[in-house]
């Protein structure tokens, strides 16, 4: 028995007729871990959560909960609880009765449940709200009560399906911190579904990035961001420049590629790329420097500054390099206000900040065009 694992998925596959919603998902989710399923709409993340919860049966594969096979066990007999985006609170019951409900279903007397109810109310910072009805609470307060109800019977894992999606931006950001603090305090495994990169990056210990039912990468936020396994992950997490080029030479320690006739030095060349093969070069926008003043940048390219956008905390500068666009994001405090659109500038970036993928992976890159929006 693996006592460190809360949930394990073995070759989990779910089909709806001919559509493969989840394709051969393998993962071990550790006890006390905040694990997120991240990806665009239709990628299979909610389906995966529903299979773990027992709300959907897998087509193939197994679900193990605390090393026990629960694949054929119905949802009500699994020691997991689910929190949905719409909270699902009973409008005719006050807060205390809503939280008591799952214990009542287990025939726990109210006098025995009282200490547990008070404990979870303290945990979600909602003491003194026991007599209020759900409609007397704000969206964030209702979300906290839904969490308290899900935690009161101390499940092995809590499954959360886009629970912050109905909240406004600032409240959503505040609730991210609340959720992470609660998870740390209770030590329960959280499996969290979201399409929001910042939510996943802020709260998660590990993230599974999914697209079209396939898991492209599982790793820590740092690993996913700084060392994406595929061009899709590179495009979906954070903001990335993509440049068309070809591999000039390569090896385990580094490589040289050519973009618009300019040699680009890189450290991260994906395995299998060969000389003269088409390539997709990726550089994070915040790793691009305008007019670098020292010699630490292996790649320095003359460009025309074509567009400047002020974003409050920073400036986004779009630079034209022959037929390619390269964007740089510069802190507002470091921005040179003498720079104007149309100016000639140099951009610099380090070899270690360039990742090279096969050009064929471009079809998986997430793109948002003006026509699309």
Number of Cβ within 10 Å of residue 321's Cβ equals 17
Domain boundaries, the chain: 5-226, 241-364
User: Looking at residue 271, what is its pLDDT?
Assistant: 67
Kindly report, residue by residue over 123-148, the tens digit of the pLDDT. Answer: 888 999 999 999 999 888 998 899 89
Q: Which pLDDT does position 3 carry in this prediction? A: 79
Q: What letter does residue 33 receive in the DSSP assignment?
A: -
| Low-confidence residues of the chain: pLDDT under 50 | 369-373
Q: For residue 219, what pLDDT is reported?
A: 98
Which overall architecture, per CATH, does domain 241-364 show? Answer: Beta Barrel (2.40)
Digit-coded pLDDT (tens) for 248-294: 876 555 688 899 989 999 876 676 677 778 899 999 999 999 999 88
Within 13 Å of residue 114, how many CA atoms lie on the same side as its CB? 3
pLDDT confidence of residue 85: 76
What does the alpha-carbon distance between residue 330 and residue 312 come to, in Å, rounded to a whole number? 11
pLDDT of res. 90:
92
DSSP β-bridge partners for residue 321:
324
The pLDDT value given to residue 143: 86
What pairs with residue 192 in β-bridges?
36, 160
pLDDT at 178: 85
CATH topology of domain 5-226: Rossmann fold (3.40.50)
**Model pTM score:** 0.90
Cβ-defined contacts of 363-369 (< 8 Å, 24+): 364/211, 364/230, 364/231, 364/232, 364/235, 365/231, 365/232, 365/234, 365/235, 365/242, 365/280, 366/40, 366/232, 366/235, 366/236, 367/235
User: What was the pLDDT predicted at 369?
Assistant: 46
């Amino acid at each position: 028995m693996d006592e460190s694992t809360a949930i394990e998925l073995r070759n989990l596959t779910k089909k709806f007729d001919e559509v493969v919603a989840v394709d051969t998902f393998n993962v071990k989710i550790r006890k006390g871990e905040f694990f997120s399923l991240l990806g665009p709409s239709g990628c299979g993340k909610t389906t995966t959560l529903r299979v773990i919860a027992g709300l959907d049966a897998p087509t193939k594969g197994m679900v193990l909960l605390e090393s026990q096979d629960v694949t054929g066990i119905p949802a009500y007999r699994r020691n997991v609880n689910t929190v949905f985006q719409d909270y699902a609170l009973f409008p005719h019951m006050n807060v205390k009765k809503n939280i008591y409900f799952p214990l009542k279903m287990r025939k726990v007397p109210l006098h025995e449940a009282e200490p547990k109810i008070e404990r979870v109310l303290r945990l979600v910072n909602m003491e003194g709200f026991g007599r209020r009805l759900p409609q007397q609470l704000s969206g964030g307060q209702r979300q906290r009560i839904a969490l308290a109800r899900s935690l009161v019977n101390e499940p092995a894992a809590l499954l959360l399906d886009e629970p912050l999606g109905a909240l406004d931006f600032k409240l959503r950001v505040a609730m991210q911190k609340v959720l992470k603090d609660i998870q740390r305090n209770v030590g329960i495994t959280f499996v969290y579904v979201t399409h929001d990169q910042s939510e996943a990056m802020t709260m998660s210990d590990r993230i599974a990035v999914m697209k079209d039912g396939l898991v492209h990468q599982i790793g820590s936020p740092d690993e996913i961001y700084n060392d994406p396994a595929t061009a899709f992950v590179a495009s979906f997490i954070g903001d990335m420049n993509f440049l068309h080029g070809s591999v000039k030479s390569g090896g385990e320690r580094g490589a040289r590629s050519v973009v618009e006739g300019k040699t680009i030095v890189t450290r991260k060349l994906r395995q299998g790329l060969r000389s003269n093969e088409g390539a997709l070069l990726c550089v994070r926008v915040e790793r691009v420097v305008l007019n670098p003043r020292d010699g630490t940048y292996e790649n320095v390219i003359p460009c025309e500054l074509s567009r400047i956008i002020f974003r409050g905390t920073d400036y986004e500068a779009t630079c034209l390099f022959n037929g390619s666009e390269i964007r740089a994001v510069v802190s507002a405090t470091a921005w040179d206000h003498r720079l104007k659109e149309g100016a000639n500038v140099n951009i610099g970036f380090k070899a270690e900040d360039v990742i090279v993928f096969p050009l064929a992976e471009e079809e998986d890159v997430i793109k948002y065009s003006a026509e699309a929006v």
